[in-house]
Amino acid sequence: MLPWIQLDTAKIPGGGELRLKSRGTEFSIMLGTNELMNSRLSGSEEALATLAFERISGHKRLHILIGGLGMGFTLRAALAVLPADGKVTVAELVPAVVDWARGPMAEIYAGSLDDPRVAIHVGDVGALITKSKGHFDAILLDVDNGPDGLTREANDGLYSHDGLRKSKAALTRGGVLGVWSQGPDPYFTRRLKDCGYGAEEIPVRAGKTGRGKKHMIWMAKNGPVPQKG
C-alpha cells in the first residue's frame, strides 16, 4: 500500500493547523488526528447541496452560501442542479485551502471554481452571515465535524441560539439552513426548533453508493415544516 505523503500545512485563524496529505490519487485534509475530508467519501457532502435544492427549487434567482470549501463536493453538487441565473458564494476561512483547490487538488475540483456562478469569499462565514439580511436562499455549513467548533472555538457561535438566529435573518423567506455532521445531536435539533426553524434530521451515508458510515444532515427551514396529514 502506498504511504501517505504530507503536501502542505496551513494555520487556521484563531488556532489549529490543517494538513493536506495524499496517497496516490487519494487526498485527505486533517486537523490533528481528525480527518475532516477524504476525496473517496463525498456522498453526504453532496447531499447537503441536493437536499437543500429540493427545498428551495421554486425560488427565483437562487443564491446559496456554502460555509467551508473543503474538497468542493458540496459546491460541485450545487452547481449541478443550480439554474444558469443562480449564484453560489463559498466562504473559506483558510486561504491555503483555496490554493490547494487550484493546485494539487485541481483535478478533483474539475474547474468548478471558474464557473461564472461562483464567488469565493476568503473570510469568516459567521461574519458574512451577520451582515447579510434576507440575502441567501440556502446557507450550507460544513466547517466542522458537527454543530460545535471543532476547527476553532469561535465556530461554536454558528450553532448557538444567537448564531442560529443570525442565519435565520440572513435567509430569504422559506430559505433553508443546512448543517453537516458526522453524527446526530439532539441538543442541536432542539436549538433549531427554539429559534423557530422547521428542523429535519436526515441520516445520509458517507459513500456515493449508499455505503459507509452514516452522517447526519439537518435541513432547517426558515419557518415551520408543514405537518404531514
In 3D space, the residue among 228, 163, 153 whose CA is nearest the CA of residue 191 turns out to be 163
Least confident segment among 4-8, 168-172, 219-223: 219-223
Residue 86 has pLDDT above 70, yes or no: yes
Confidence of residue 228 (pLDDT cuts 50, 70, 90): very low
Please report the pLDDT score of residue 152 as a whole number: 40
Confidence of residue 227 (pLDDT cuts 50, 70, 90): very low
Residue 175 has which C-alpha cell?
430559505
Cβ atoms of 86 and 57 closer than 8 Å: no
Over residues 48-66, mean pLDDT = 96
Q: Per-residue pLDDT tens for 25-34?
A: 999 999 888 8
CA contacts within 13 A on the Cβ side of 157? 10
Spell out the alpha helix ranges (H) of the chain: 43-56, 73-81, 95-102, 106-109, 125-130, 156-159, 161-170, 186-194
Please report the pLDDT score of residue 212 as a whole number: 67
Residues of the chain with pLDDT > 90: what percent?
A: 74
Least confident segment among 27-36, 85-94, 167-176: 27-36
Confidence of residue 36 (pLDDT cuts 50, 70, 90): confident
CA distances from 144 to 130, 140, 189 (A): 19, 12, 16
Please report the pLDDT score of residue 1 as a whole number: 79
- In the chain, the amino acid numbered 96 is A
Confidence of residue 9 (pLDDT cuts 50, 70, 90): very high
Please report the pLDDT score of residue 182 as a whole number: 85
Phi first, then psi, for residue 199 (nearest 5°) are -100, 125
- Kindly write down the DSSP assignment for every residue of 82-141, as one continuous string: S-TT-EEEEEES-HHHHHHHHTTTHHHHTTGGG-TTEEEEES-HHHHHHT-SS-EEEEEE
Least confident segment among 13-27, 85-99, 138-152, 163-177: 138-152
Cα separation, 8 vs 14, in Å, equals 19
Over residues 94-101, mean pLDDT = 96
Residue 166 has pLDDT above 80, yes or no: yes
Residue 4 has pLDDT above 70, yes or no: yes
Phi first, then psi, for residue 69 (nearest 5°) are -75, -40
More confident residue, 138 or 182: 138
